[in-house]
Amino acid sequence: MGHDKLRKFAENETFSCLLQPSAGELLKDGYFALRDHAVKGRWNERFGREAPIVLELGCGKGEYTTALAESRPECNYIGVDIKGARLWKGAKYATLNNLSNVAFLRTRIEFITAFFAPGEVSEIWLTFSDPQPRSENSRLTSPLFLERYRSFLAPGGLIKLKTDSQFLYRYTQAVCRANGLGVKESTEDLYSESGRFDPCLSQVRTFYEEMFRSQGYPIRYMSFTLDSAGPFVSPSDFDPLYWRSVEGYRTLFGRDTAETRRQKLASGESE
């Protein structure tokens, strides 16, 4: 492990806004019987005030979480990610700027139900999540994850998806149709219709958002509720092979993404 990562991990231990629970404690009774963490149902005590709680799942470096917190100080914000070196940036920024309405949680999103009580969360943001084109259950808008969110999202609470991925956007639309979920807002090109939406949607941008916009990809957005009583089901009208084939090639840090390499190999473009 590099010295810079070690330095960040050490500094993470000093940030009061960053919670790093032990996965071993959560899993003592097995993966399907997660133990609740002590913070569950007590997040506003941790913040020291009563306010709506907004989650960003897969928050990366936390730039979106902190920007939302600065633009909407009336809410408490929690960014969730498993990568400690990434969370370091957001936690350090929140600490240096005295953002008392920001917290970060280092854990796998699969374990999220161990940390939040029924009705404790008012809103969930999914910002540039990995579309997981080859694994439905890994998609953060899959029925499996929606069941988890429903266990702690307040009635009428919104899930807000912001993505460059046509695949994930179309899949999420299909999930909403299959389960009768109320779609409140939706656009295939946020920046061409920005006047229709909350200004923070276009004013607050992530590193990956800027990267993919520079590659010519429109930013898609939708928000929806989980107010459905039955079990969530997978959509029958979504064709993953087709939507993978039209997703488009992307680069990260000058290299093709893994999915782009697969697409090029399938089409015969790869050397």
CATH number at residue 63: 3.40.50.150
Please say if 130 is a catalytic residue. Answer: yes
pLDDT of residue 270: 61
| Number of structural domains found in the chain | 1
**238, amino acid identity:** F
Backbone angle region of 105, left / alpha / beta, with phi > 0 → left and psi within -120 to 50 → alpha: beta
Q: Enter the tokens of residue 226.
A: 């989980």
For residues 126 and 161, the answer to whether their CB atoms sit within 8 Å is yes
In terms of residue numbers, what domain contains 41? 3-267
pLDDT of residue 82: 96
Question: Within 13-117, where are the H helices?
Answer: 23-26, 43-47, 63-71, 84-96
Question: Within the chain, where are the H helices?
Answer: 3-12, 23-26, 43-47, 63-71, 84-96, 143-150, 166-179, 200-203, 207-214, 240-245, 258-267
For residues 199 and 167, the answer to whether their CB atoms sit within 8 Å is no
Q: Among the options 4, 36, 81, 130, which is catalytic?
A: 130
Q: How many CB atoms lie within 10 A of CB 50?
A: 9
pLDDT of residue 252: 81
Residues of the chain with pLDDT below 70 are: 1, 270-271
pTM of the predicted model, to two decimals? 0.94
